[in-house]
Structure formats: structure tokens, C-alpha cells
Amino acid sequence: TQLLEQSPQFLSIQEGENLTVYCNSSSVFSSLQWYRQEPGEGPVLLVTVVTGGEVKKLKRLTFQFGDARKDSSLHITAAQPGDTGLYLCAGMFSGGYNKLIFGAGTRLAVHP
């Protein structure tokens, strides 16, 4: 059974601070996605990483995929109140029939 550990589960910071969210597994991902979810809405895709060591940037968000494709991180620079939400990492595993295994999520609150 593949498990995805995501940390921290909660993060409350002031506007302008930096933060990092981590996603780890003992299994190798074929791909990993990061989503953001607002209350009462479905998850919205932020990025997909597939290559070990890959780094992708989306404005103030930086996504890294570990060399061994077992871990990933999301770094937000100079967080803003608009970044508040639930961040979810989700991985696909080879032979997993395109199913996504979700982490527990990180609930981020950015205070002005």
C-alpha cells in the first residue's frame, strides 16, 4: 500500500513570510501533482512533476521533485493572504491504474 506523508498539516503565518510544504513516500512516483483547494470547491491543479530533480516555478511558488522521485516540496515566497487555502500533494504510482494517492493536506492561513 502506497502512502503519502504530507507536512505540516497546519501552517499559520504572517504576510511576507516564506514557507515550505513537504510530501514524502517510501515508493517511487511516476508523477506527482500539487493541488490547491478552497472551501466548498474542488481541487485546482497547480503543477505536475514527472522527472527526478525537476524544479518548476509558478510565480511565487516553487515546486521540487526529489532525485529519486519519492519526495516533493512546495515553497512559497513572500506569502500573501490570497495564498490561504488547503494545499494537497497527490502521487501516481506505476501500475496504479492512474489512481491518485493524496497526502493529508496542508491548511495554510496567511494573516495580513
At its nearest, how many Å lie between another protein and the CB of residue 62?
A: 20
Q: How many CB atoms lie under 10 A from the CB of residue 34? A: 24
- The reply on whether position 3 binds another protein by CB under 8 A is no
| Site stretch for another protein (CB under 8 A), options 14-22, 27-35, 58-66, 70-78 | 27-35
d(CA 55, CA 48): 10
Among 3, 15, 26, 44, binds another protein (CB under 8 A): 44
Candidate segments 20-28, 37-45, 56-64, 76-84, binder of another protein by CB under 8 A: 37-45
Specify the residue, 42 or 112, whose C-beta has the smaller distance to another protein: 42
The yes or no reply on residue 103 touching another protein (CB under 8 A) is yes
Residue (75 or 107) nearer to another protein, CB: 107
Cα pseudo-dihedral 86, 91, 57, 71, rounded to 10: 100
SS3 104: coil
**Of 45, 32, 34, which is closest to residue 76 (Cα–Cα)?**
34
Cell of 87: 494545499
Read off the C-alpha cell for 11.
Answer: 501552517
Q: Which residues bind another protein (CB under 8 A)?
A: 31, 33, 35, 40-45, 48, 50, 88, 90, 92, 97-100, 102-105, 107
